[in-house]
Chain A
Amino acid sequence: MGCKCGSIESANCHCGRIVGINGNMLTVEFFDSVKQNEIAYAILDDIHLKAEVVRTRGRYADLQILEEPKGLKVGGHVDFTGELMAVELGPGLLTQIFDGLQNPLPGLAKQCGFFLKRGMYLDALSRDKEWEFTPAVKKGDTLSAGDTLGTVPEGIFVHRIMVPFSLKGRYSVERIATHGSYRVSEIIAELQDMKGFLIKVSMVQKWPVKIPLNCYHERLMPTDTLMTKIRMVDTFFPVARGGTFCIPGPFGAGKTVLQQMISKNAEVDIVVVAACGERAGEVAGTLREFPELIDPRTGKSLMERTVIICNTSSMPVAAREASIYTAVTLAEYYRQMGLHVLLLVDSTSRWAQALREVSGRLEEIPGDEAFPAYLESVIAAFYERAAIVKLRDGTVGSVTIGGTVSPAGGNFDEPVTQATLKVVGAFLGLSRERSNARRYPAIHPLESWSKYWSIIKSEDLKLAQKILKDGNDIAQMMKVVGEEGTSIDDFVMYLKSEYLDAVYMQQNAFHAVDGAVSAERQRYIFNKIVKTFGTKMAFHSKDEARTFFQILIQKTKDWNYMAMESDEFQKIEAELDKMIGEVAKNAQNIPEN
């Protein structure tokens, strides 16, 4: 019996025929049945172009094509796979760079040269590489999804080979491979379910990206600070392990640089970077830089703890939507091994725009700025995939998610920023004013917030926050009444806030020492500054005060650039103490203004 589509001689054909093409949306007449979100291939000569079912109506399915649709015709053949969009999970993900559909980009480059080629799909994990497997269970053990069968070393990590997450119920181990080298696709275990059915398990498994992976015992409260080594974040607007944060800001305010700083220095085991709809050049930079940078925690290159998912702005838009889910699924996979994973997405707005494009082509009723009405719930569901969890074996793993937001016109009062602010635990808002004044990182000190715990004692923090706020108020007032209308006390308060800004909040991303500041050092410097602020100061004139603070700023900046163990560090500290001591002594001679 031939297929109804007429073009394939197959009894149980699962296919369809293109009846319309509108941008990256195909309308396909199907003959059997289709699943929502299943993957299909549109066939163009010898090229197979991946597409995903996003809506069905009667005999027609709307498919978003994940590639450039040029050349497709009405009447063209479509094969449905019956499978949801899924990623391969197994050893060998780390150090890789994948596109949004988990194609290894270096592999593509080897085959196709300088340019991407549509319809080229490669295995995400190498089928040739051998991994040294050590079993962790024995015949007769009872297990369920997510339990460890054995381990392989993957770079600096112990990579757990687990019972496939899709298996329901309990299984007994019938056979487990002995210690030795295996390829990912080799069978390393046979499991028997309660009905006696045998399941063969290899080191690679698939998981549908849009479904959260939650084979854990329980979710915990995110309480531990995730050190980013950025003073302004850890001290003022901290991020917690298993928590979420967002970085909205107009273009050029420093979102990407801030994320890059975090990806380099964050105290986590693994970093998944999702370059989503932004510049390819930035990814290329990371790619070249990371292998050269040594992770001080492990002594190995930073690349060993990194996976990059890359769907940059000129790559197909529909695959951009997938890339976010691919990234978070990989992050969840490593969390399942008791590791702390940080997922950084740049930028979630591009993902939201991809949703908007699809929604528009489906002619759904548009909400604000033409974003679909379900935008908020989709964003919320994505950030909900961040969590710190206790696994069934008692170990703890986490996925922390941080996303940049690129609001249209730099105005935070827009749908994506607003939807994100509702669900995240920390808001690092970047300000155009601060970036224009080269005050990096340009996190707005008064508008940003965090619900997590700082590494600094809260009363000290409150003091600093008060100084910032008062300083800002005085600065605003000075704009109206001028310096001469400001009392010297107020003026000194203003200078103090400027001092805090210059030497603590501003941080040189590109400096070896200043670029990454440990918790210990942050506490040390912060205490010093608090002590300085506690010192009674008096000046004869505003100019004298200004000069004093200018010198103090310069010295403190010099201090920031010195390694904490160095002699210079101590030397400059002594000079700072001396300056403060002198001004305190003067204060006794100058009457209160």
Chain B
Amino acid sequence: MRRIYRKIEQIVGNVITVVAGEVSYGELATITTPEGSSLAQVIRLDGDRVSLQVLAGTKGISTNAEIRFLGHSMQTPFSKSLLGRIFTGSGEPRDKRPAITENLIDIGGPSVNPVKRVTPGNMIPTGIPMIDVFNTLVESQKLPIFSVAGEPYNSLLARIAMQAKVDIIILGGMGLKHDDYLFFRDVLEKNGALTRSILFIHTAADPTVECILVPDLCLAVAEQFALQGKRVLVLLTDMTNFADSIKEIANTMEQIPSNRGYPGDLYSQLACRYEKAAAFEGAGSITILAVTTMPGDDVTHPIPDNTGYITEGQFYLRNGRIEPFGSLSRLKQHVNNRTREDHRSIMDSMIQLYALYKESFEKQSMGFRISAWDKKLLRYGERFEHEMMDLNVNISLDQALDLGWYILADCFQPAETGITTKLIEKFWPDNTRMSIA
């Protein structure tokens, strides 16, 4: 069977077309030019015309480049020796150490049977009150961090990586600035966490479509570790680059765009990746935190919009803080009924009061007369922002809840908080003096 071809019929965008036989859908090929070689994936078959998406881009590819079909779809090695290693977006070593070739596994495998999913029950404490108290992160959860360019999302991601109690961290960089790549590597190294980490890094300097494989590589490896009983945290940054690569290919293939140039299957494409987050009965779990920068700070843009419909909540990062409004962990109710009995009430009423504070703040800035109630709210809001929302606060959940009561008692009468009498009787601080470590 002939597997090598040297005649490219068409090059459009990052897609090439060759005439070839016996090629299967999804198969991988290598394209070799004098400058080097790239992987390419079969994305359409039409009679004997085969269209391939070239991962390193088609720049400089000549019509007589060598195309060799590999007879399988994309694979990655999997073994413990991946730990501590750094790879490129196409799975080549980036750390100048030897390539790993053992135990190849397919990427983009089938989905988990829904009946085999375990209801998530373990909180992942992060030490960040805006997460632990208000939007608890739960093992097996998939959560994006919606952010605009310039926000410290990568430092937040790094901090969660350091503080979260998990076994293995897999970092997937897509279009990552080289500085940010070094930042992650150094932070992990400095905290001695690199040895439990695996990095697949596609940087902004690499060909753009090459980032398309990064989530699948990360998640295939994560899945294997999870099946071996490990709790894996997958950090992806930035999924917007991934989605844009999908758009680019779809446009090249002349698919009819559905919304602002994005293809109609953007939702399904993203879901295939995010749904890999799971907890396995009798084994480990995969949790995904994925930065999604919002073009133009617009959450209705197709990328954040589709993402929000898929993920189990979202964190909005704005002005260096996790916004209480809009941010949401949908799995929190699986765990916050087993933390402390006042957890849910504190969570609800502090947010409701903060919303009222916002209104009072508005009034104040519009120059309206401020009532006694507004004054209370203004005082409360300021303290809340300062003592709870600041991302540098690093305290345990218990401490954070105590702090919540302390702030409430300091600002309000019990009835003003809307908390049930039962909890007030139990938790309302007697006097407003309380020590917070």
Interface residues of A (CB under 8 A from B): 19-23, 27, 68-75, 97, 105-106, 108-109, 112-118, 250-252, 275, 277-281, 283-285, 287-288, 310, 312-315, 317, 350, 353, 356-357, 360, 363, 366, 369-371, 406, 408-411, 436-438, 479, 482-485, 510, 542-543, 546-547, 550-551, 553-554, 557-558, 561
Cα(A371)–Cα(B117), bound, Å:
33
Task: Answer yes or no: B330 CB below 8 A from chain A CBs.
Answer: yes
For B305, what are the chain A residues with a Cβ–Cβ distance below 8 Å?
251, 408-410
Q: Given A115-B112, A116-B112, A357-B265, A543–B117 Cβ distance below 8 Å? A: no
Nearest-CB distance from A404 to chain B (Å)? 11
- Map CB proximity to A onto B389-429 as digits: 1 under 8 Å, 0 otherwise: 00000000000000000000000000110101100000000
The reply to whether A561 and B25 form a contact with Cβ atoms under 8 Å apart is no
Stretch at the interface among B160-168, B188-196, B207-215, B254-262: B254-262
Given the interface pairs A313-B275, A317-B265, A483-B363, the reply to whether A106 lies near B115 with Cβ below 8 Å is yes
A484-B368 Cα distance, complex, nearest whole Å:
8
Stretch at the interface among B2-10, B31-39, B91-99, B308-316: B308-316
B119 contacts which chain A residues (CB < 8 A)? 284-285, 288
B183 at the interface (CB under 8 A from A): no
User: What residue of chain A has the Cβ atom nearest to residue B305's Cβ?
Assistant: A409
Residue of B nearest to A112 (CB): B113
Contact across chains for A109 and B115 when beta carbons are under 8 A apart: yes
Question: Do A410 and B113 contact each other (CB < 8 Å), given the known contacts A73-B24, A74-B45, A288-B119?
Answer: no
Task: List 30 A-B pairs, Cβ < 8 Å.
Answer: A19-B47, A21-B25, A71-B24, A115-B116, A117-B110, A118-B110, A251-B309, A252-B328, A275-B114, A280-B275, A281-B140, A284-B114, A284-B117, A288-B119, A350-B267, A353-B265, A353-B268, A356-B264, A357-B265, A360-B256, A408-B300, A436-B326, A437-B355, A438-B348, A482-B368, A483-B368, A485-B368, A546-B373, A551-B415, A557-B418
Distance between Cα atoms of A510 and B331 in the complex (Å): 13
Q: Assess whether B62 is interfacial by the CB under 8 Å rule.
A: no
**Closest residue to A250 on the B side, CB-wise?**
B308
B385 beta carbon closer than 8 Å to chain A: no
Whole-angstrom distance between the Cβ of A504 and the nearest chain B Cβ: 15
- B360, closest chain A residue (CB): A483
Looking at B22, B112, B113, B314, which has the most chain A CB atoms within 10 Å of its CB? B113
Judge whether A20 and B114 touch: CB under 8 Å.
no
Say whether B300 contacts A410, CB under 8 Å: yes
Q: Check if A543 sits within 8 Å of B373, measured CB to CB.
A: yes
Contact check, B47 vs A74: say whether CB atoms are below 8 A apart: yes
B371 engages A483 (CB within 8 Å): yes
Contact present for B24 and A408 (CB under 8 Å) = no
**Shortest CB distance A462–B (Å):** 29
B280 interfacial contact with A, CB 8 Å: yes
In the complex formed, the residue of A with least CB distance to B424 is A554
In angstroms, Cα B309 to Cα A313, docked, is: 10
**Is B436 interfacial (CB-CB < 8 Å)?**
no
Identify which of B113, B257, B355 contacts A105 (C-beta below 8 A): B113
Contact of A22 with B44 at beta-carbon distance under 8 Å, contacts A73-B25, A280-B117, A360-B255 already known: yes
CA of A22 to CA of B337, assembled, Å:
48
Within 8 A of A (CB), among B287-326: 300-302, 305, 308-310, 312-314, 325-326
**How far, in Å, is A582 (CB) from chain B's closest CB?**
16
Q: Which residues of B contact A558 (CB under 8 A)?
A: 420-421
User: Is B420 a contact of A557 with CB atoms below 8 Å?
Assistant: yes
CB atoms of A353 and B368 under 8 A apart: no
Contacts of A357 in B (CB 8 A): 264-265, 268
| Shortest distance from the beta carbon of B161 to any chain A beta carbon, whole Å | 23
Q: Name the residue on A nearest B109 (C-beta).
A: A115
Apart from the given pairs A281-B140, A437-B355, A438-B352, 16 other A-B contacts in the complex at a CB distance below 8 Å: A20-B47, A21-B44, A22-B45, A27-B46, A71-B25, A109-B113, A252-B326, A252-B330, A314-B275, A356-B264, A369-B259, A437-B352, A483-B363, A483-B368, A543-B372, A557-B420
CB–CB B111/A115 < 8 A: yes
Which residues of A sit under 8 angstroms from B27, Cβ to Cβ? 71
Is B346 interfacial (CB 8 A cutoff)? no
Which range holds the interface residue count of chain B?
35 or more
Q: Which of B111, B257, B348 has the most CB of A within 10 A?
A: B111
B351 within 8 A of A: yes
Q: CB-nearest residue of chain B relative to A115?
A: B110
List chain B residues, Cβ under 8 A from A118. Answer: 110
Q: Hey, which chain B residues are within 8 Å of A117, CB to CB?
A: 110
Interface string of B362-385 (1 = CB under 8 A from A): 110010110111000000000000
Q: Cβ of A314 and Cβ of B271 under 8 Å apart? A: yes
Q: What residues of chain B have their CB less than 8 Å away from a CB belonging to chain A?
A: 21-27, 44-48, 73, 109-120, 140, 227, 255-259, 263-265, 267-268, 271-272, 275-276, 278, 280, 300-302, 305, 308-310, 312-314, 325-326, 328, 330-331, 333-334, 337, 348, 351-352, 355, 362-363, 366, 368-369, 371-373, 415-416, 418, 420-421
> Contact at B113–A71, with CB atoms within 8 Å?
no
Residues of chain A with a CB closer than 8 A to B312's CB: 279, 281
B256 with A553: CB separation less than 8 A? no
Q: How far, in whole Å, are A284 and B415 apart by their CA atoms in the complex? A: 39
Q: Interface centre among B257, B265, B278, B309, by most A CB within 10 Å?
A: B309
Residues on the A chain within 8 Å of B352, using CB = 437-438
Which residues does chain B contribute within 8 Å of A356, judged by CB atoms? 258, 264
Q: Which residue of B lies closest to A360 (CB)?
A: B256
A279 to B420, CA, bound (A): 33
Which residue in chain A gives the minimum CB-CB distance to B138? A281
Cα-based distance from A312 to B115 in the complex (angstroms): 11
Distance in Å from the Cβ of A164 to the closest Cβ of chain B? 31
Please, which residues of chain B bring their CB within 8 A of the CB of A371?
258
Contact A310 B275 (CB under 8 A): no
Is the pair A482, B366 in contact by a Cβ cutoff of 8 Å? yes
CB distance from A266 to the nearest CB of B (A): 21
- A73 / chain B contacts, CB cutoff of 8 Å: 22-25, 45
Give the CA-CA distance A444 to B218 in the complex, in Å.
41
Looking at the complex, which one of A20, A317, A363, A369 makes contact with B268 (CB distance below 8 Å)? A317
> How many Å from the CB of A433 to the closest CB on chain B?
10
- Measured CA separation A314–B108 after assembly (Å): 11
Q: Is the CB of B113 within 8 A of A114?
A: yes
Shortest CB distance A539–B (Å): 13
Instruction: Determine if A310 and B114 form an interchain contact, defined as CB atoms under 8 angstroms apart.
Output: yes
Shortest distance in angstroms between A408's beta carbon and chain B's nearest beta carbon? 6
Asked if residues B227 and A114 are in contact (CB atoms below 8 Å), the reply is: yes
Q: In the assembly, what is the distance between CA of A543 and CA of B377, in Å?
A: 14
**A312 to chain B: which residues have CB within 8 Å?**
111, 114, 275
B265 touches A22 (CB 8 A): no
CB within 8 A of B111: which of A284, A285, A314, A546? A314
Neighbouring A residues of B255 by C-beta, 8 Å: 360
Q: Bound state CA distance, A326 and B420, in angstroms?
A: 45
| Interchain CB contact under 8 A, A68 and B371 | no
The answer on a CB contact under 8 Å between B271 and A69 is: no
Contact between B45 and A20 (Cβ–Cβ < 8 Å)? yes
Contact B115 A411 (CB under 8 A): no
Query: What is the chain B residue whose CB lies nearest that of A44?
Result: B24
Bound CA–CA A410/B268 (angstroms) = 18
Known: A281-B140, A409-B300, A438-B348. A74 touches B48 (CB 8 A): yes
**Beta-carbon contact of A114 and B116 below 8 Å:** yes
Report the Cα distance A18→B281, complex, angstroms.
40
A355–chain B nearest beta-carbon distance, Å = 10
Q: Which residue of A lies closest to B22 (CB)?
A: A73
By a CB distance below 8 angstroms, the chain B residues around A561 are 420
Closest B residue, CB atoms, query A287 = B115
Given known A-B contacts A19-B47, A116-B112, A558-B420, A370 and B264 have beta carbons under 8 A apart: yes
Complex contacts, A250 vs chain B, CB 8 Å? 308
B328: shortest Cβ distance to chain A, in Å?
5
Shortest CB–CB separation between residue B69 and chain A, in angstroms?
11
Asked, given contacts A370-B256, A484-B368, whether A70 binds B313 with beta carbons under 8 Å apart, the answer is no
Chain B residues near A106: list those with CB within 8 A.
115
